[in-house]
Each structure stands twice: as C-alpha cells, then as structure tokens.
C-alpha cells in the first residue's frame, strides 16, 4: 500500500487530502457536465505546472475525482469554480466528461474569499501568490493583519513577511514565483535598501547558487561596508606566497554573523576587525566567543 501511494505521487494527495468544508446552503453532491464549468477569474493561483497536472490526470484516470469540486450557479445554466480548478484542469486532460461537485449558494465576495482561503490553507500557492492573496483579502475586506491571522490560522509574522515580498523588484518576485530562489533568500534581500543592489544580489544567487546563509552574510557586509560587486571577485594574486592567506580572508565571513575585515601587509603584519551595527549583533559575537571558550 505504501509503495502504491508513493507511486501516485502528489496527485493522490491533491485528490483526497484537505477536504473542502460544506457550509450551510450547499446541495448534495451532483455530477456536473465538465463543459458547463467555468474557472474563477479571481483564482489566486496563477501558475499551473503542466507536468504536475499530467501526474494528477494519471491519478484521475485510475481513481476518478475522489474529492468533489465546489461550484456555484451562474447565468445560462453554467457553473463557476469556487474550489478545485486544478482538479478540473486535470480532469479535462484525463478525458472526463463530468465531475462530482457541491453546488453552493455564494455571493461574488464570498466566492473570492473562499477561493483565496482554500488555496492558502492547502499550501498549493507559491510565496508570491500567497502574498498577493493576503493583500487582496486585506484590501477587499478591510482586514487588519491581526484579523487576517485569526481567520486563516496563520501567525501574524508569517502574513507580514509575505506582504513584505511585494516590496521587492518585479524581477525578484518572478524569480521567487519560479523557484529561482527561496523565501529565505528573499527575506535577506529585503534588508537591502537599494533595489539595484537587491537585483545584483539576486543575479548572484541565480548564477552561483548561493545559500541563504551566504546571502545573509553578504547583506550584512553590504550594509556595513559598501556595494555588492557585479560578480564574485577572484582571489587576488600576490607575490612571495602572500596569497596563501586569501582563503582565510574569504572564510572568515562564514564564521561570524557580522561584517569581518582582514588585512595583511607584505611584512606579515595585519589585523582582523569584527564589525557590528547593533547591540543584537554584538550579543551574537559575545555568545560565539563564549562557545569558543
């Protein structure tokens, strides 16, 4: 059974997990002609992975649509999707002619709210889609972040962190949507005030596959010292073996949570300077040295 479930992949989970609630006013399950169903124009999910849809279609061919869609009646005997557009798309690929569905009574505003909350609770959306969904709920229903947190069961900090993503340049938002960087990368970039510097760091992340920790270190150095280079500089070439310490200079930044400056003269004299910009960063350094003891 376990091997069977794994073979079906995420498609089966999309069919049977996270059942849609059936509020008052819903009808019994009906079999609805697939050609009479229209997608919701306010669907918060904008990116449907073709490969994932094909996997779901394979599951539907084998098992059918186990979890009914949620629809509402519209003009001319047609229906609009409240929840389940991904299942509807996959069912079309699978060649089905009808789908099981609850037909609910809902106003335009209720449809929008249910579609947004349903997608957020399923965690099917990427970070930018979630951020846009939060923003739409707040703007449409005049909600505070605290109230939205209560309604969705999400921490207020989670909502605030997603909303901050919408302040990033469009190119970075698209990169986050397309999984070119992670949420942690994006949060680190938010600590950089200059959008041009954010884009330089973003290009470095994509080109060199930088870790979140490495980006956080670069941001700290940037805020303490100066602009980000267009690309990672090569180690300098020095005479008389001085270059053998270059690796040490590069690696220092990985050991400390704040900016580090390393200098060495040809005679062998030099200094290592640890920089900090707040008492919090100083406390991190103190804690680190306590551990080294």
Catalytic hit among 55, 85, 129, 281:
85
d(CA 71, CA 279) in angstroms, rounded, equals 55
Element at 215 (helix H, strand E): helix 212-225
Provide DSSP, 75-106: GGG-EEEEE-HHHHHHHHHHT-SEEEEEEE--
Distance (Å) of CA 123 to CA 83, 152, 161, 280, 287: 13, 12, 16, 34, 37
85 is annotated as an active-site residue? yes
Residue 141 has what DSSP assignment? H
What is the bridge-based pairing of β-strands 37-38 and 98-104?
A: unpaired
Residue 212 burial (CB < 10 Å; 0-12/13-18/19+)?
Answer: middle
Distance (Å) of CA 273 to CA 27, 45, 202, 263, 270: 70, 48, 28, 9, 10
- Give 273's strand partners: 261
What is the bridge-based pairing of β-strands 260-264 and 270-274?
A: antiparallel
142-151: buried (b, 16+ CB within 10 Å) or exposed (e) per residue? Answer: ebebeebbee
Catalytic residues: 85
């Amino acid at each position: 059974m376990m091997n069977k479930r794994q073979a079906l992949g995420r498609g089966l989970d999309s069919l049977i997990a996270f059942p849609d609630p059936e509020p008052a006013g819903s009808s019994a399950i009906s079999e609805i002609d697939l050609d009479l169903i229209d997608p919701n124009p306010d669907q918060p999910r904008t990116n449907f992975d073709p490969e994932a849809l094909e996997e779901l279609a394979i599951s539907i061919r084998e098992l059918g649509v186990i979890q009914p869609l949620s629809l509402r009646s519209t003009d001319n005997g047609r229906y609009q999707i409240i929840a389940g557009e991904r299942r509807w798309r996959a069912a079309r690929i699978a060649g089905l002619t009808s789908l099981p569905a609850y037909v609910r009574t809902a106003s335009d505003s209720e449809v929008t709210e249910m579609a947004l909350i349903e997608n957020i609770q399923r965690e099917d959306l990427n970070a930018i889609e979630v951020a846009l969904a939060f923003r739409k709920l707040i703007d449409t229903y005049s909600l505070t972040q605290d109230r939205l947190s209560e309604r969705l069961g999400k921490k207020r900090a989670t909502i605030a962190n997603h909303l901050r993503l919408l302040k990033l340049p469009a190119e970075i938002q698209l990169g986050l949507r397309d999984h070119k960087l992670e949420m942690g990368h994006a949060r680190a970039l938010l600590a950089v005030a200059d959008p041009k510097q954010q884009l330089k760091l973003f290009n470095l992340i994509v080109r060199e596959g930088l870790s979140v920790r490495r980006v956080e270190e670069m941001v700290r150095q940037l805020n303490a010292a100066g602009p980000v280079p267009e690309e990672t500089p090569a180690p300098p070439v020095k005479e008389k073996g001085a270059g053998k310490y270059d690796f040490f200079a590069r690696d220092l930044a990985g050991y400390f949570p704040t900016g580090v400056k390393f200098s060495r003269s040809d005679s062998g004299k030099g200094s290592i300077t640890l920089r900090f910009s707040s008492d919090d960063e100083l406390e991190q350094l103190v804690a680190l040295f306590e551990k080294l003891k």
